[in-house]
Amino acid sequence: MFSYSSPAIATYLNIASPIAACVNGSKVAVINTEGIWEVEADGRKKLIPNSYQDARDCAAIDGKTYVLAVPTGLVKIKTDGTTQKIVNSPVSSRTRVKFLDGLVIHQSVNTLSIYDTGLNFKAKRSFEVTEVMDFEYKNKYLYVSGFQQQKRSGIPVQIAFLYRMGFNGTSIFGLPNLQGSNQGKLWGYSPASLVDNMADTRLNRLHISGNKLYVLGSVYGGNSIFRWNGKNLLTETLITTDKYTNAAQTRDETKVYTGVVDLTSFSVERGQLSITRLPSTGGLGDGNSNFPKTIYSNGSDIFVGSSAAYAIPNRDSQTFLGKLIPPYRGDASFLVFPTNLKSRKAWITPGNGEILLFNSKFAIIKTGKVNNLSTNSGTAQSLPTNTYFIKF
């Protein structure tokens, strides 16, 4: 089996203060205040001139066109630096953009807007939630995730939701909350129904592959709504394989939740927690934090990028590019498992950093004080927040 600790390339890009990354065919695009940096599969990079200076997210429409999400809306730009169109919307720093099934979809806090490839407006909808965090689209269904801040008996609780909406080309509309394939909601319970499921939850990221929707959430406790199937608080769906998937001996530290939703029945098939643990404590080892960042699936495996506190399994005996992992200062985390979640194929870290992108071919790591990943010398370098490119 291929080892993710021995990638084909791990190279320092010298792109200061990266903000986000997206895939454009065989290339990866990294955005920062300088513009869009296109990175070739061999690690070579070039700066697209005259690109917008405050981009927060990017999506590739084709090999020569990007759409950038900026606090004031959207910017469509060619790879020669020519700005083609600007769309203004309410100002927001929490903004995302994706190109899905021929549509440009833009999120701004709790509002989704849909455009065609020319950035001509098609539909818009605001949701009565605290925040929409991600979205996917397939076969005229729009999948929307995030969380709602609620209270039960005066106690605050964050409740994750997943909505399935219809899109008919001109409007985004809700579907009935019925049992079966037409159900329009998973999780998103009223606070009065939670009983002992009061751990805070969010659904941070979504990804569709084939007929499955892969969801990535955050859990701030052990007793959460993610234990169940999303339709009721009775049917267990969590798979536990070892102490790093078992919420016992944990508290309200952040945990990663990965779930598989079948799109035909719109039901949760299975889920799993990914928990880091302190090795110096008794029993299982006290739980520590693991922060979800990215999710991707190629249909057979699930790839989760996270920022892991000390420590993932066997952290201090792991190697990357043939060298031992440097001393802990906050780890970039690559987690790979099959779609049935019954085993773990890999959980590795190259060392210090935060994942901006991780899939079956590429990873982009944002680092602070960094080790040289190309040699993994363990010698800290005083550099501004910077970027590593990894090709698997």
pLDDT averaged per 10 residues in sequence order, the chain, 392 residues: 83 91 97 96 93 93 96 95 91 92 96 97 96 97 98 95 96 84 87 95 98 98 95 95 97 97 94 96 94 98 97 94 87 96 96 94 84 55 75 94
Of 168, 359, 205, 119, the residue nearest 106 (C-alpha): 119
Q: 92 in helix, strand or coil? A: coil
**Contact 337/283 with Cβ under 8 angstroms?**
no
Phi, psi of 247 (to 5 degrees): -80, 0
Give CA–CA dist 386/114, Å, rounded: 33
CB-based contacts of 376-379 (< 8 A; 24+ apart in sequence):
376/320, 376/321, 376/322, 376/323, 376/324, 376/325, 376/326, 376/350, 376/351, 377/323, 378/323, 378/324, 378/326, 378/327
β-strands 290-297, 254-262: how paired?
A: unpaired
- What's the pLDDT score for residue 195? 92
Q: Tokens 């925040």 label which residue?
A: 131
What residues form DSSP beta bridges with 172?
167
What residues form DSSP beta bridges with 207?
214
What residues form DSSP beta bridges with 229?
none
Phi, psi of 365 (to 5 degrees): -115, 130
pLDDT digits (tens, 9 = 90+) for 189-236: 999 999 999 999 999 999 999 999 999 999 999 999 999 999 999 999
Q: What is the DSSP string of 169-209?
A: SS-EEE----SSTT--EEE---GGG-TT--SEEEEEEEEEE
**Contact 13/32 with Cβ under 8 angstroms?**
no
Of 194, 187, 196, 250, the residue nearest 220 (C-alpha): 250
Phi, psi of 201 (to 5 degrees): -140, 150
- What's the pLDDT score for residue 183? 81
Of 205, 217, 212, 208, the residue nearest 159 (C-alpha): 217
For 32, other C-beta atoms within 10 Å of its C-beta total 21
Cis link prior to 311 (omega < 30° from 0)?
Answer: yes
User: DSSP letter at 315?
Assistant: G
